[in-house]
Amino acid sequence: MNKINIPKFHRQRFLLSLLESAGGTLSKIEFQNRLFLLHQKAGFSYYDFVPYNSRSYSFQADSDIEKLQNLGWIQETDKQIILLESISSRTDSEKSKIAFFLKQLPCITNKEISNLPTYKSCSNKNNCVLFTIGYEGISFESYANRLLENNIRLLCDVRKNPFSRKFGFSKNIMSNLLQKIGIEYQHIPALGIVSAARKNLKTKADYSQLFLDYEASLPQQKDALKQLTDLIKNSRRIAITCFEKEHHQCHRHCISDYLESKNNQKVVHL
């Protein structure tokens, strides 16, 4: 195997070791089941999971399988994942741990394989609540679970340019994945901040001025704010999203503060 084809990420090499320890071929369902159980029962932590198709599922792992196929390590069919090349860069101890755990699978119950997160409907689901959330520092699956845990079924993206190098957070991929787990996606670019305004931001004072300028511009965004307000009234529990982890470091807090002040809007920052 040419060195240029070596998988870039540790987690991708882990998937190859999983396939090798499982005999080289797994059905797609069994692949996700075993991956989930290795994380839940054997203590690995490469992937996070969401409830999908009555299973705990990793969309990031799906994406990594596609990359590994493009690199020539595996072949993916409609129902199976087939290992084409053996991986030798894993430590013997980790390979042994995977192999040992897979031998215990006959003792694992179907209930444990289907050990999905459960999300109870919130008691105040009929209240009009605006949530805000950022995706900095977390996986798409962890991010999606926060939405599900709070009974959110509509996500409004307030980035001007909704693109990210991080898996799951570019517009088209995000919309597609959220739809799979029952969450609608809408992009409201008028509420974003143009890239030029974000250049040369270095100090706390720079960011404070950016938010002051943005807040001053909000009254001119009547159509976009009305669209958001109507969505809150119709969907009742929605979230607006951008990148930054802390809401006070992101322009989404300017939007929520504005609506809280003008409309007495209830706001929750996740």
**Domain at 29, CATH number:** 1.10.10
Q: What is the pLDDT of residue 91?
A: 58
Report the pLDDT value the prediction gives residue 240, as an integer from 0 to 100.
Answer: 98
- Tokens describing residue 7: 């998988």
Q: Judge whether residue 48 has pLDDT over 90.
A: yes
The whole-number average pLDDT for the span 153-181 is: 96
Which of 56, 80, 113 is the C-terminal boundary of a domain?
113
State whether 87 and 166 are in the same domain. no
Q: Same structural domain for residues 81 and 107?
A: yes
Question: Which residues touch 108 (CB under 8 Å, ≥6 apart)?
Answer: 37, 41
Q: What is the pLDDT of residue 119?
A: 58
Query: Stretch 20-45: mean pLDDT, rounded?
Result: 90
Q: Residue 3: its pLDDT value, please? A: 47
Domain boundaries, position 257: 129-269
pTM for this model (two decimals): 0.89
pLDDT tens for 230-269 read 999 998 889 999 999 999 999 999 999 999 999 999 999 9
Are both 166 and 140 inside the same structural domain?
yes
Domain boundary among 61, 83, 113: 113
What Å distances lie between residue 45 and 14, 107, 175, CA to CA? 11, 22, 26
- Is the residue at 147 inside a domain? yes
Beta-carbon contacts of residue 134 (< 8 Å; ≥ 6 apart): 241, 242, 243, 244, 245, 246, 247, 250, 252
Same domain for 137 and 109, yes or no, is no
Q: Is residue 181 part of a domain?
A: yes
CA torsion angle 253 211 205 203 (round to 10) = 70
pLDDT digits (tens, 9 = 90+) for 88-147: 655 567 778 888 888 776 665 555 555 555 555 444 555 789 999 999 999 999 999 999
Specify whether 82 is located in the same domain as 151.
no
pLDDT the model gives residue 7? 86
The pLDDT, as a whole number, for residue 89 is 55
**Phi, psi (deg, nearest 5) at residue 55:** -140, 165
* Distance from C-alpha of 182 to C-alpha of 200, rounded to nearest angstrom: 39
Asked if the structure places residue 183 within a domain, the reply is: yes
Number of domains in the chain: 2
Beta pairing partners, 156: 186, 240
pLDDT of residue 88: 67
264 found inside a domain: yes
Asked whether residue 156 falls in the same domain as residue 221, the answer is: yes
| 97 and 174 fall within a common domain | no
Tell me the average pLDDT of the chain.
88
Q: Are 98 and 137 in the same domain? A: no
**Does residue 251 share a domain with residue 210?**
yes
Residue that is last in its domain, among 51, 80, 113? 113
- What's residue 102's pLDDT? 80
164 and 210 together in one domain: yes
Whether residue 62 lies inside any domain: the answer is yes
Supply the pLDDT for residue 92. 67
